Amino acid sequence: MNKKFFIPLIAFFALVGLLLFGLNNDPKLIPSPFIGQPAPDFKLPKLYKPDETVSAKDMEGEVWILNIWASWCAPCRAEHKVLTSLIAKEKVPTIGMNYKDYGTEDYGDEAVKWLATLGNPYTAVAVDAEGKAGIDWGVVGVPETFVMDKKGIVRYKFTGPIYPEAVDDIIIPLIDKLRKEAG
């Protein structure tokens, strides 16, 4: 056979191999550039009181969680019970950032219904209608969960729905450690 035939064939299989290798990477394991950096600030309207705002600065001095979710997000629904249990057990202040909740004439209706049905574990619910704050946080999909220390430094990011093993093995030990470090 001709060499001209083998070169494109080898290149094709090499490309397919690289693509398959990339598909095997777990997005939860991709490091975040925000780890060890100050949490991006935001000032967003509260879901239940849109004339009031909530920001990352409001949480200074606390170990806290930011959970970015949407009512249209099936994985968000799947993680909600686990997240609710974590927040209740650890009594950790948590901002729920409702991300780009489309589909209603009156923005927020679906989020209010969703929380009324599943329960509202959050200290505050921020509304990120346009997704700009989510972009500042590097959100590539929902849900995403971040843990911050008392100084407002991002210490951990979990991409996708959190699950009990991650809570028990990673998140709770981290929260305990950060609370002890901060005095």
Per-residue pLDDT band at 109 (split at 50, 70, 90): confident
Of all residues in the chain, the percent with pLDDT exceeding 90 is: 72
Here the tokens at position 175 are: 């929260």
C-alpha 61/C-alpha 143 separation (Å) is 25
Q: Which residue has the higher pLDDT, 109 or 45?
A: 45
Asked if the model's pLDDT at residue 23 lies above 60, the reply is no
Per-residue pLDDT band at 29 (split at 50, 70, 90): low
Across residues 79-85, what is the average pLDDT?
Answer: 97
Q: Which residue has the higher pLDDT, 38 or 28?
A: 38
Full DSSP string of the chain: --HHHHHHHHHHHHHHHHHHHHHTS-GGGSPPTTTTSBPPP-EEEBSS-TTSEEEGGGGTTS-EEEEEE-TT-HHHHHHHHHHHHHHHHHT--EEEEEE---S-SSTTHHHHHHHHHH----SEEEEETTSHHHHHTT--SS-EEEEE-TTSBEEEEEES---HHHIIIIIHHHHHHHHHHT-
Q: Which residue has the higher pLDDT, 66 or 19?
A: 66
C-alpha 73/C-alpha 88 separation (Å) is 22
C-alpha 165/C-alpha 146 separation (Å) is 16
pLDDT of residue 48: 93
Across residues 130-146, what is the average pLDDT?
Answer: 94
Of all residues in the chain, the percent with pLDDT exceeding 70 is: 80
Q: Cβ(61)–Cβ(88) under 8 Å?
A: no
What's the first-to-final CA gap in the chain, in angstroms?
73
Across residues 46-62, what is the average pLDDT?
Answer: 95
Tell the CATH superfamily of the 32-181 domain. Answer: Glutaredoxin (3.40.30.10)
Sign of the four-CA dihedral 5, 22, 32, 115:
positive
* Domain chopping of the chain, boundaries: 32-181
C-alpha 97/C-alpha 123 separation (Å) is 11
Contacts of 100 (CB under 8 A, 6+ apart): 70, 128, 129, 130, 131, 134
C-alpha 133/C-alpha 111 separation (Å) is 17
